[in-house]
Chain A
């Protein structure tokens, strides 16, 4: 029998990332050339220039950080409430059964419905945070609950045998077991909270908000502005996701060793 071993071409990760970015920028440019109307699609270069102008403008950072603040507020509320209620649900069958329809309804209801209802119920300032928290909550609740339920029963028996107690069992067994589920839920939730939060800003037409600028660019048909503000949302979202993953890894390692 003849075995053929192929030498795989090794391309460094960094190079792969650069190639990916260049590839998609090329596709974007190709679409721009093909469409040929700036009102529909603007070129990457044009968006970059517009983005530079926006950054140079005095109100940019105020707007960007105000939006980030609202969304992070909603994200944190969603994460904390999802986490606490998932722990209760894991401990009590009644609590789990009570929560299930709420989570199902929150998941199935269109974001726009929540935003419009929220605009009726509360001041527009709170609507982006409220929408972001409602998007994040069911994701965190379901994932954390699944993580707790899938914690290895044999490791829990081991903890019981060696008299770990509640705190050590939580820190040494539950936290590391649930951490991958929690991290994945936070990563997904963070991206979605930006979507929901900015959508709420668009519908609320808030001052000092990225959503407000996106709404204005639609009114005045400023497609370059629309693309540039969308790029701002993407950049902030990616940066925060990266930061969150690093922080959570460090926190999980430290917490599980210090209990």
Chain B
């Protein structure tokens, strides 16, 4: 069953971020939520992921899907190494460590396995966060400005990796970067807000 957002309402204090918002997603492909900062894209993504509860309305079609996410912030565990951060998302630690080494190599961080987040640059932490999401895998990838703080060459490489891994999945990409949108999106919802509303579909 495809993901659908129906009549979603979400309020923070006196501000309505979502006010009767609706959106339908395909089974696979990359859907880009494109709009300015602060318009409510991340709130929508969190509600889709089930990390935040809607005041009313619903997100249907979530059951049976495995979600993976690159958060807007890296959200790495500061007390664990890059390798352990990726391995943490696996049930079996040994398997996790093998996958972690493999993914760190893929994102160009071979040799940095033992480094903790505070010993890595912002771009490196971002790559660990991307590697963690891709290593975890899933049917639905939620990517919240995933390529921020990356130089253009690394960004292209990361886009390639995401496209390869998520080719048979649904990717919901939140961005306000036109290049990322052009390179990745199959469908783009141009949004503005708050409250969030779709002003165009490309």
List chain A positions with a Cβ less than 8 A from chain B.
154-155, 157-158, 160-164, 168, 172-173, 176, 256-258
CB neighbours of A257 from chain B (8 A): 80, 84
Chain A residues contacting B84 (CB-CB under 8 Å) are 257
- Report whether B49 and A161 are in contact in the complex, using a CB–CB cutoff of 8 Å: yes
Q: Which residues of A contact B77 (CB under 8 A)?
A: 155, 172-173, 176
Q: Bound complex: CA of A173 vs CA of B89, how far in Å?
A: 13
Give Cα A155 to B75, complex, Å. 6
- The SS class assigned to the A binding surface is helix
Partner of B88, one of A154, A157, A160, A172: A172
Cross-chain contact A161 with B88 (CB below 8 angstroms): no
Is the C-beta of B147 less than 8 angstroms from some C-beta in chain A?
A: no
Beta-carbon contact of A154 and B80 below 8 Å: no
Point out which of A162, A168, A257, A258 has the most chain B C-beta atoms below 10 A from its C-beta: A162
**Chain B interface residue number, banded:** 10 to 19
- Among B68, B69, B80, the residue within 8 A (CB) of A172 is B80
- A158 and B80 within 8 A (CB): no
Chain B residues within an 8 Å CB radius of A161? 49, 51, 67-69, 71
Also in contact, A160 and B75, with CB within 8 A (given A168-B88, A172-B80): no
Residue of B whose beta carbon sits closest to that of A153: B51
Is the CB of B12 closer than 8 A to any CB of chain A? Answer: no
17 contacts between A and B (CB under 8 A): A154-B75, A155-B75, A158-B69, A158-B75, A161-B49, A161-B51, A161-B71, A162-B68, A162-B136, A163-B89, A172-B77, A172-B80, A172-B88, A173-B77, A176-B77, A256-B79, A257-B80
